[in-house]
């Protein structure tokens, strides 16, 4: 029962993380629409704009994963009573968790990144 409950909370946490990442990056892209329009007007292509947004998302996700990993390792002793035949610092479990979070991040970033890459420079410059 405890494992099922923790699994449900883990899935809920991944969904909330995806919503949060999507919201932050969508807001960031909306705030930077004029900058992206100027970059495209000067000559940046879709690939460079896409790389710009993806780089920003990568920095945020790597920072979050590093902070989360440090906190998880510090709090590992608290979880040891809930685990059965598994160490709280099990490398496979930690790797799977990080991989799942990065996959969710990549999925949540896709829409804002493609939206930024499809900005019309003229409309972006006229909007303000």
Give pTM, 2 decimals: 0.74
pLDDT of residue 63: 92
Give the chain's domain count: 1
Domain containing 80: what range?
2-126
pLDDT per residue as tens digits for the range 80-116? 777 777 777 778 888 988 898 888 888 888 888 888 8
Q: Which residues contact 109 (CB under 8 A, 6 or more apart)?
A: 21, 22, 25, 53, 54, 57
Average pLDDT taken over every residue of the chain: 85
Following DSSP, what letter does each residue of 5-43 receive, concatenated? Answer: HHHHHHHHHHHHHHHHHHHHHHHHHHHTHHHHHHHHHHT
Is the pLDDT assigned to residue 67 strictly greater than 90? yes
Q: What is the pLDDT of residue 128?
A: 61
Let me know if 105 is exposed, middle or buried by CB neighbors in 10 A (0-12, 13-18, 19+): buried
**With contact defined as beta carbons under 8 Å apart, do 45 and 121 qualify?**
no
């Amino acid at each position: 029962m405890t494992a099922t409950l923790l699994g449900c909370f883990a899935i809920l946490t991944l969904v909330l993380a995806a919503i949060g990442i999507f919201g932050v990056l969508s807001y960031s892209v909306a705030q930077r629409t004029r900058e992206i329009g100027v970059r495209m007007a000067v000559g940046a292509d879709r690939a460079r704009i896409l790389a710009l947004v993806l780089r920003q998302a990568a920095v945020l996700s790597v920072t979050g994963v590093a902070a989360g990993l440090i906190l998880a390792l510090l709090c590992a002793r608290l979880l040891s009573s809930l685990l059965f035949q598994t160490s709280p610092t099990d490398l496979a479990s930690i790797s799977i968790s990080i991989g799942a979070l990065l996959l969710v991040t990549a999925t949540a970033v896709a829409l804002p990144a493609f939206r930024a890459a499809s900005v019309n420079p003229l409309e972006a410059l006229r909007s303000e």
